[in-house]
Structure 1
Amino acid sequence: MIYPNNFEQRIGIDTIRHYIIEKCLSTLGTSCVQAMSFSTDWSTIEQWLMETEEFTRILNNKETFPIDFYLDMRDTLRQVEHDFTLWFSEEDTAGLMNSLQTLSDIVDFFQRAKVGAGRPKYPALLQAADRIKTFPAVIEQANNILDKSFKIKDNASSTLAQIRRGKIEATKAISRHMEAAMRQAKADGLISKDMQPSVRFGIQLIPVNATHKRKIKGVVHDGSGSGKTVYIEPEAVAEASNKLKELERTERQEVIRILTVFTNLVRPAIQEMLDGYNFLGTIDFIRAKAAFCIRINAVKPVLVDTPQIRWSKAVHPLLHIALLQENKTAHPLDITLEQQARILLISGANAGGKSLCLKTVALLQYMLQCGLLIPVEAGSEAGIFAHILMDIGDGQSMENSLSTYTSHLSNMKVFLQECHNKTLILIDEFGGGTEPQIGGAIAETLLERFNERGCFGIITTHFQNLKHYADRTAGVINGAMLYDVQQMKPCYQLAIGQPGSSYAVEVARNIGLPEDIIEAASVKVTRSAEIV
């Protein structure tokens, strides 16, 4: 289970999809990116990660990989599969030929890619490619009937060759007869010496004065608006034109016959071809994933079939992209969630990186279980979670008048219903949004329940009672976002094993709040602690 429903938008997966789609070569790949989904199956995720990691090597090694003609011909194939009155057009035939050749080249690439002792260089991708059938006979036949402009060749059949020779002769005959008729009309003084044939409705015609129309044998096709000029197709030209039209009709029939024969050759293999086009889309998708993962310096972690996180130098990928444009780098995080310390309670100053740490875990874990490499140090270990449940604030609803705290409690109700020992919970500003004493007590009680259920989690808070709970309770551990007190700025570094401070006094003093107010506030805090 992924919670809430807008989880992807809240953590930025929609932006990740956008970046991957930018790397796609086709709508085949784009549709795969849009369908990219979260999995909880170890073998599925491992296969996805291996395929993506292998393709990063192809790209990094600058190997020559087929990238042309990733055409989606699936709808075209489905249309003709059971309707025997349909045939492929010349454009369809060219699309099939080129894309099936690309498919063949891809399969051949993986089958030929070997390392020492003949071992496959890209075993995961080869495993996928080996299941795909190629179609050399179809490609050869398409090549036999199409020219370089992807039109039916003259020699696609002996009949077509004869027809097209006849068309050439008929066209020449039209020109000869028209030239002869024009010469005769000029000699007879029916038209001026510099007059040229006029073309109307695709027919060559002689424009003559209406008074001379019976002096030229032929067919009157048109007249001027004034009626003074008529347009005549000489009789011999008309006969040659009719012959050309008949040849063109016969040519169309022969082209359709040739394309129908080709379609009938393809039809029995359509289901296997559909598998091939799905594979073509998958390869485009994997390639796009790999290109994006290279951009964010992502690697394949060691994937274990248990819930855990042992990441070194984890970086939020969207922050990395944004900072890179400013020639800056993101601060990496070392994050560990394991059986002895399943729930990490992070505290520290505001704007110190607590929420960023939580969102980094949310995004990277989700990316991982969608089959994406993640920006961590090589050798990092990553587990699999059945549920990811998140509450990061911004839950106020104007429609149903839910306050932020009411929204938070509604989320906690869902967490209690769903969480177990394979759940990752992510809660920002735990217990905030209401009166501190009761808010802290409810938060501590919820934390007890989450810990009893054995779930994993990242929780940010300012509440002292939660920090004390983490200090004395197995399964929960404190973490702090470090703060440079000398320079009064966050270090954006996570230290696990100690609680953080809000540094409220130091911040107040740094901005120049009167010292007597700071001292009085400190006394009140001391008294409150003594009472507790």
Structure 2
Amino acid sequence: MIYPHNFEQKIGFDQIRQLLKARCLSTLGEERVDEMAFSDDYQEINRRLEQVVEFVRITQEEEDFPAQYFFDVRPSLKRIRVEGMYLDEQELFDLRRSLETIRDIVRFLQQTDEDEADDMATSPYPALHELAGDILTFPQLIARIDSILDKFGKIKDNASTELLRIRRELASTTGSISRSLNSILRAAQSEGYVDKDVTPTMRDGRLVIPVAPGMKRKIKGIVHDESATGKTVFIEPAEVVEANNRIRELEGEERREIIRILTDFSATVRPQIPAILQSYEFLAKIDFIRAKALFGIEIKGLKPSFENQQIVDWFQAVHPLLQMSLAKHGKKVVPLDITLTREKRILLISGPNAGGKSVCLKTVGLLQYMLQCGMLVSMHERSHAGIFSHIFIDIGDEQSIEDDLSTYSSHLTNMKVMLKSCNGQSLILIDEFGGGTEPQIGGAIAEAVLKRFNLKGTFGVITTHYQNLKHFAEDHEGVVNGAMLYDRHEMRALFQLQIGNPGSSFAVEIARKIGLPEEVIADASEIVGSEYIQSDKYLQDIVRDKRYWETKRQNIRKREKQMEDTIARYEKEIEELERSRKEILKKAKEEAEHLLQESNAKIENTIRTIKEAQAEKERTRTARQELTDFKEQVEKLDKAALEEKIARKMEQLREKQERKKDKKAKQQQKASEPQPVPKVRPIEAGDYVRIKGQTSVGQVMDINGKNAVVMFGLMKTNVKTERLERTDAPKAAPLSNKTTFVSSETQDRMYEKKLNFKQDLDVRGMRGDEAIQAVTYFIDDAILVGVSRVRILHGTGSGILRTLIRQYLATVPGVAHFQDEHVQFGGAGITVVDLK
């Protein structure tokens, strides 16, 4: 039961119907939209919802669903029930195409999973599969129509033997007339009776020749017509009059034969009309379900957890019409979280005017009604929804001059109906409960009515400003207070529902914001009493505190999520470290194996040398033993060096992580403390420097702003001064003919740097100066570790970043060549740099 009669208009469902109609393909579906009604049958509602959910999947996942020909030919089929009536060509063509659509839809919905056994096969769309289960598709009827109509919907020449004969004779006669007319026309043109560019034309179904009025006597025949200007007359030559008459006769025979063919076909169809109409009811259902699915997709609707009991446990519920309206202006709806259970059945919402109370009430009414009409609803997927046998609403001004009803009288009339009809399976929606009359008696009557609602176990959402109703909710089981939140500092509604505490009307604050004189506000406060004002203030404080702790709780959840992300990131870094360790171990083993192979080669060469020298066997055995000892010593040495190198690498990685943590902690600790600024002498030309974290010492040749030109050995490079640190001049190496000695520590550092060096640099998204700085460091490191080729990823975009980078590369002495990457691997978005 739905009350009152204009229930749909009050909650906005009449607009939903119009939106659904706009998404239908034919009047078939539109009629179903008009017939759509509220249901309290759980199985029926669940079946309807499943059908829409499955069609949403079809819309989103399938591309070949047949939805091209939804023609409503039911009126034509009902007309030909009368003996002698027939379908015309267009009606027959629409019947053929729509029957084909029905056939294709049934085939689509009756398909089953191919990977399952025949006796276990299931449909991917079970609810729609059941809907299409016993629908007839009339393949023989389609074949019969195909024998009559061509692909353009016109009667075929061979639809009957007689029609074929008539059309052949018609074509032959027309050709004969055309040849005669052309002959007569050429003769008239040669005599100058007719202009050179004139051609035969058709008048009243007869082929004629256009002639100037002064020349009409020159051609024997019948004048059929003249032009609007009177400058042309249309003459049918006497030679073709008989042929034209024959054409008229043949055309009449053709029409009669076509009518006979269509009448015969209609007589064949007549006994099958009831079954065909049943198939069109199926097509109407599909059109209707499709419209609901499309609307559901548009409003981001879904089927919540639907239960056969009375419950409202919704999360992020949204009024679909309000959502669509605000979306046009780039705004979003504040979602609604609401819960009604057996223990807390009636929600009493209070709060300021224009705070969203009525929207909240309408949202509950509209979504529940949509759900029980078999439509998807806009709320979060973890929501739970139930079913109600009755929905009552009392909202808006129902004054009636005809019925002599005031606003309050209409409210009382609605209350009377609700009290008489409601029960534990009812949902009542009342706006401004008790309003419209003197507040004291109005509040008392409202409290008495609310008490009866509660005793009957009714579910409901009620909005009010009355304090006595708020106290009633606090003191009675089954009724719970709720508040629409309001920002007291910014004086604006937040449109958020909070269940558990009553809300303040913020009457004093709103009056003060509007600019009502302070003495008026003071008088009003004195009239109502300090106790009322204090209680209202306490309500505001409670709401404020609850919002504060709710914000705190959300922040804690956010921090917990950040901690979880941090832990996950550290675990990933540990995995990376372990993977790096395994890679280092693998590479070290490969190097050790290579060294052993070289040692084996050395041993074999030594033995071969001994044999070639024809040494004694004992001497050979001794040499072999010495070399075996050498091999074992190398293996032990390599293994120890390998383990030491791996341990050193892991320790360096751990130290790097610790340094990051310490650096971050120190930065946070020192952020608020004033730090002494050390007086550091800036780097000048002639100073010996090294890049921070490296050992190579170079001399500053020149300072250009924040850049320094530094000579490292025989290589000159540009380096940011902030990356340099002053150091002592390198000690002069003693002159010697021997190869320059490089310490093992330096070798290890260079090996580590080369091992960790990545040959790709990504500067996409950087500003120009940032990108140039990154490229400078990258090219310097590449030259230092001896890499021959590197790649710089800068993207295509407007090409500015690419141009800046290449201008810089052209000035670097260590760059031999640079070019675009191969188009297969990135093209102009990547620069490949070859180093000297």
Same fold (TM over 0.5): yes
* Correspondence 1:20 to 2:20: yes
The RMSD of aligned alpha carbons is 3.1
* Correspondence 1:203 to 2:202: no
Aligned residues: 524
Within 5 Å, give how 1:23-422 maps onto structure 2: 23-81=23-81, 83-112=82-111, 114=113, 117=116, 118-179=121-182, 200-204=203-207, 220=222, 233-234=236-237, 236-422=239-425
The superposition leaves residues 361-413 of structure 1 with CA deviations (integer Å, 9 ceiling, x where unpaired) of: 11111111111111111132222212111111222234445322122112112
Secondary structure in structure 2 of the residue aligned to 1:8: helix
Q: Equivalent residue for 1:482?
A: 485
Structure 1 residues 518 and 261, CA gap change in structure 2 (3 angstroms)? same
User: Which residue identity lines up with residue 268 of structure 1 in the other structure?
Assistant: P
Q: Distance in 1 between matches of 2:201 and 2:297?
A: 64
The superposition leaves residues 316-359 of structure 1 with CA deviations (integer Å, 9 ceiling, x where unpaired) of: 11111112122222111111112111111111122221111111
User: Which residue identity lines up with residue 395 of structure 2 in the other structure?
Assistant: I
The superposition leaves residues 298-323 of structure 1 with CA deviations (integer Å, 9 ceiling, x where unpaired) of: 11022222222111111111111112
Q: Distance in 2 between matches of 1:377 and 1:469?
A: 32
User: Which residue identity lines up with residue 110 of structure 1 in the other structure?
Assistant: L
**Greater alpha carbon shift after TM alignment, 432-441 vs 106-115:** 106-115
Q: Distance in 2 between matches of 1:212 and 1:327?
A: 74
Structure 1 residues 297 and 186, CA gap change in structure 2 (3 angstroms)? closer
Q: Distance in 1 between matches of 2:219 and 2:531?
A: 122
| TM, length-normalised to structure 1 | 0.90
Structure 1 residues 258 and 471, CA gap change in structure 2 (3 angstroms)? same
1:115 touches 1:121 (CA, 8 Å); kept in 2? no
Q: Could you tell me how far 1:9 is from its partner in structure 2?
A: 1.1
User: Which residue identity lines up with residue 104 of structure 1 in the other structure?
Assistant: R
1:138 touches 1:265 (CA, 8 Å); kept in 2? no
2:216 touches 2:235 (CA, 8 Å); kept in 1? no
**Greater alpha carbon shift after TM alignment, 153-162 vs 427-436:** 153-162
The superposition leaves residues 201-241 of structure 1 with CA deviations (integer Å, 9 ceiling, x where unpaired) of: 3334577999998995x7x566989xxx9987555423322
Unaligned runs of 5+ in 2: 534-836
User: Which residue identity lines up with residue 107 of structure 1 in the other structure?
Assistant: V
Q: Distance in 2 between matches of 1:44 and 1:367?
A: 14
Q: Distance in 1 between matches of 2:497 and 2:218?
A: 102
Structure 1 residues 115 and 432, CA gap change in structure 2 (3 angstroms)? farther
User: Which residue identity lines up with residue 46 of structure 1 in the other structure?
Assistant: N
Q: Distance in 2 between matches of 1:203 and 1:351?
A: 76
2:203 touches 2:225 (CA, 8 Å); kept in 1? no
Structure 1 residues 413 and 224, CA gap change in structure 2 (3 angstroms)? closer
Within 5 Å, give how 1:442-461 maps onto structure 2: 442-461=445-464
Q: Could you tell me how far 1:506 is from its partner in structure 2?
A: 3.4
User: Which residue identity lines up with residue 317 of structure 2 in the other structure?
Assistant: A
Q: Could you tell me how far 1:442 is from its partner in structure 2?
A: 0.4
| TM, length-normalised to structure 2 | 0.58
Secondary structure in structure 2 of the residue aligned to 1:112: coil
Q: Distance in 1 between matches of 2:492 and 2:307?
A: 37
The superposition leaves residues 476-499 of structure 1 with CA deviations (integer Å, 9 ceiling, x where unpaired) of: 111111222233322222122221
The superposition leaves residues 404-449 of structure 1 with CA deviations (integer Å, 9 ceiling, x where unpaired) of: 2122112112212221222111111111121111111000001111
Give the structure, 1 or 2, with the largest relative contact order (CA under 8 Å, sep 6 or more).
Answer: 1
Secondary structure in structure 1 of the residue aligned to 2:381: coil
Q: Distance in 2 between matches of 1:384 and 1:197?
A: 76
Q: Distance in 2 between matches of 1:321 and 1:420?
A: 35
User: Which residue identity lines up with residue 283 of structure 2 in the other structure?
Assistant: L
**Greater alpha carbon shift after TM alignment, 416-425 vs 232-241:** 232-241
Secondary structure in structure 2 of the residue aligned to 1:458: strand
Secondary structure in structure 1 of the residue aligned to 2:136: coil
- Report sequence identity in percent: 50
Structure 1 residues 186 and 390, CA gap change in structure 2 (3 angstroms)? closer
